[in-house]
């Protein structure tokens, strides 16, 4: 896979200034790498992040709105008064209380903080899985479930969705019985499809799973449903959330809520000081303005329906129902998914192409809901592209 904005070999083969690199050591390095780095890692490409300079960015489910001046002033003050010479404090209870209050975590539950929920996913797999143990998720879903499981020596099982991209419950239950996964990840709503699995289906999975079920609510602020109030109802459930999709993707903060006994075990694997003091200070300041985050999420949620409806009006476009701040659309008119993606890119509009990611996602593009002007620009570009 080529990485946009980072030509292949750019940094790896760059000779050190003033020290010409001879071929002999380079060959030596390749041999050492081949004999040292895991084969499955050598075959991978690094997680692709597109160069977005000067583009309309609708590819990563970021919130298009910047925080208001008053909030930024508060952040500036909090950061200025944060000493950088000391490690982060051991006692995070003040921030834990603030997070629990802001996000409706039940009093009796504990929370675990991560450097983004990506880190929490690793912590869960590392704490639960011996090498070769199964980690299971409906598929396609969040790619990092698969990546983290592999990196941490677990065996990833993706259970295909139906052709309508809904949950195949009988297949899920059969796979759980067969593979006895230590961990089941359920993104509710699901990324990249946008679907929200029914309560009954989720309950059936929780009741059948022998190990831990992680309900990943990254997109919960855009949905009608949350499992947070019920996180203590079953003996094998934790709820994972992130602030990335509600305006703070740059901050890298995720949290896991669950029974104190589960959180205590997972906490043992957490890298010490994983939440740096600047993130802590910034988050504390932002949470004093929580209604600002809620209002931004409400705007995106309100704009999702009209965007989806307008996309569905385009020739040859099928839009899948979404409960997130994005919509997945299949392009099967004159131009296929790859061609539409490229045509938009040429017009400096970035969306995410899943055409080649999985057979169930053939010709599918994922579009984040942007600010109204961005959505309008996308729609008029698509109109032009599809009628050419």
Ligand X SMILES: *Cc1c(COP(=O)(O)O)cnc(C)c1O
- 117 binds ligand X per the rule CB under 6 A: yes
Cβ atoms 252, 280 nearer than 8 A: no
Minimal distance in Å, beta carbon 185 to ligand X? 8
- By CB under 6 A, name the one of 142, 197, 320, 354 that touches ligand X: 142
Whichever of 116 and 140 has its CB closer to ligand X, that residue is 116
Q: Which helix (DSSP H) or strand (DSSP E) does residue 26 occupy?
A: helix 23-36
3-state secondary structure of 365: strand
- 242 binds ligand X per the rule CB under 6 A: yes
Tell me the β-bridge partners of 311.
none
- 221 binds ligand X per the rule CB under 6 A: no
Give CA separation, 131 vs 124, 184, 271, in Å: 14, 16, 20
Count each helix (H run) and each strand (E run) in the chain, helices first.
13, 13
Cβ atoms 362, 330 nearer than 8 A: yes
Cβ atoms 223, 189 nearer than 8 A: yes
- Omega cis (within 30) before 330: no
- 138 binds ligand X per the rule CB under 6 A: no
Whichever of 245 and 382 has its CB closer to ligand X, that residue is 245
- By CB under 6 A, name the one of 137, 166, 191, 375 that touches ligand X: 191
- By CB under 6 A, name the one of 62, 110, 111, 116 that touches ligand X: 116
User: How big is the chain by its Cα radius of gyration, in Å?
Assistant: 22
- By CB under 6 A, name the one of 216, 303, 363, 374 that touches ligand X: 216
Minimal distance in Å, beta carbon 215 to ligand X? 11
- Report how many residues bind ligand X under the rule CB under 6 A: 11
- 282 binds ligand X per the rule CB under 6 A: no
- 118 binds ligand X per the rule CB under 6 A: yes
- By CB under 6 A, name the one of 195, 254, 258, 337 that touches ligand X: 254
- 322 binds ligand X per the rule CB under 6 A: no
Whichever of 146 and 382 has its CB closer to ligand X, that residue is 146
Q: What is the DSSP letter of 220?
A: G
Q: How far is CA 301 from the centre of its chain?
A: 18
**Applying CB under 6 A, which residues contact ligand X?**
116-118, 142, 187, 191, 216, 218, 242, 244, 254
């Amino acid at each position: 896979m080529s990485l946009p904005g980072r030509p292949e070999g750019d940094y790896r083969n760059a000779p050190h200034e003033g020290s010409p690199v001879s071929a002999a050591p380079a060959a030596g390095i390749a041999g050492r790498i081949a004999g040292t780095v895991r084969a499955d890692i050598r075959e991978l490409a690094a997680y692709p992040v597109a160069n977005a300079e000067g583009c309309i960015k609708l590819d990563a489910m970021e919130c298009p709105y910047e925080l208001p001046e008053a909030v930024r002033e508060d952040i500036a003050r909090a950061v200025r008064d944060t000493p950088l010479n000391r490690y982060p404090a051991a006692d995070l209870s003040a921030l834990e209380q603030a997070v629990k209050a802001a996000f409706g975590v039940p009093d009796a539950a504990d929370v675990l903080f991560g450097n983004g929920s990506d880190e929490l996913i690793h912590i869960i797999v590392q704490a639960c899985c011996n090498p070769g143990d199964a980690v299971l998720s409906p598929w396609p879903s969040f790619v990092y479930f698969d990546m983290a499981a592999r990196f941490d020596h677990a065996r990833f099982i993706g259970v295909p969705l139906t052709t309508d991209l809904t949950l195949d419950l009988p297949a899920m239950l059969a796979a759980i019985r067969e593979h006895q996964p230590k961990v089941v990840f359920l993104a509710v709503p699901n990324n990249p499809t946008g679907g929200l699995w029914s309560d009954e289906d989720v309950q059936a999975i929780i009741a059948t799973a022998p190990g831990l079920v992680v309900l990943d609510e990254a997109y919960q602020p855009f949905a009608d449903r949350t499992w947070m109030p019920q996180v203590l109802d079953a003996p094998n459930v934790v709820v994972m959330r992130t602030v990335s999709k509600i305006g703070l993707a740059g901050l890298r903060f995720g949290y896991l809520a669950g029974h104190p006994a589960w959180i205590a075990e997972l906490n043992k694997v957490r890298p010490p000081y994983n939440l740096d003091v600047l993130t802590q200070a910034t988050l504390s300041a932002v949470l004093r303005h929580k209604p600002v985050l809620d209002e931004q999420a409400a705007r995106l949620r309100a704009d999702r329906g009209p965007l989806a409806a307008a996309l569905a009006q385009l020739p040859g476009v099928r839009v899948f129902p979404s409960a997130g701040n994005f919509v997945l659309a299949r392009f099967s008119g004159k131009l296929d998914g790859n061609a539409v993606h490229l045509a938009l890119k040429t017009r400096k509009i970035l969306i995410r192409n899943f055409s080649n990611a999985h057979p169930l996602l053939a010709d599918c593009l994922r579009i984040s809901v942007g600010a109204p002007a961005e959505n309008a620009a996308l729609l008029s570009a698509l109109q032009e592209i599809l009628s050419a």
